[in-house]
Amino acid sequence: MAKLRVLQEPNSMLRRVSSEVAREDILSSKIKKLLRDMRDTLAATDIGVGLAAPQVGRPLRIFLVLENALRPDTGHTEEAAAHSPKEKKTTLAFINPRVVKASRKKVWMTEGCLSVDGKFGKIRRSEKVTVEALNEHGKKFIRGASGLLAEIIQHEADHLNGVLFIDSAKEVKKVEAEKEHAKS
């Protein structure tokens, strides 16, 4: 299991516009290894529901979404999509994704980011989106999304364009991690 280091803001890699992956490269050992390593990295996080390649230092138009965030019954919070340690952490890969449709209706959502550790803020996102992408086998797919999944897709697509949620979020707050105290 190869866990990659998640870059933290202000690392300049997070501000780069990522390059498309050539369709013939999707099945290469290099991209397969990157996807495997990104899956391992996302699985090792406590609350992450998505991960973009730029967050691990690869300026490629790839992101992963944790499968439990894809379930229609998942509530509209990251905590609802967070995974338990016992649960299998499977992901869906989006390669060269393009949001081809976004609802005009915007909603306020609370977001955090693995690359902006400990900060959360409110951001306006389209309530619904349609994304077109390639899967890890190079096959094109189109997927509609609403709620949490729409939020994740927009958040991860922003990463591919060098944008972080803190660029437009309101009420950004630092949340200190709770320290466990050993009992005497």
Contacts of 73 (CB under 8 A, 6+ apart): none
101 φ, ψ to 5°? -155, 135
156 as an active site residue: the answer is yes
User: Quick one: DSSP state of residue 170?
Assistant: E
DSSP 91-142: EEEEEEEEEEEE-S-EEEEEEE-TTSTTEEEEEEEESEEEEEEE-TTS-EEE
Contacts of 138 (CB under 8 A, 6+ apart): 23, 26, 27, 95
Question: Which of 156, 176, 178, 180 does the annotation list as catalytic?
Answer: 156
Say if residue 53 is exposed, middle or buried (CB neighbours under 10 Å; 0-12, 13-18, 19+): buried
Contacts of 59 (CB under 8 A, 6+ apart): 13, 16, 17, 18, 19, 53
Q: State both tokens at 18.
A: 């990522």
Q: Which residue has the tokens 């509530």?
A: 75
Residues marked as catalytic: 156
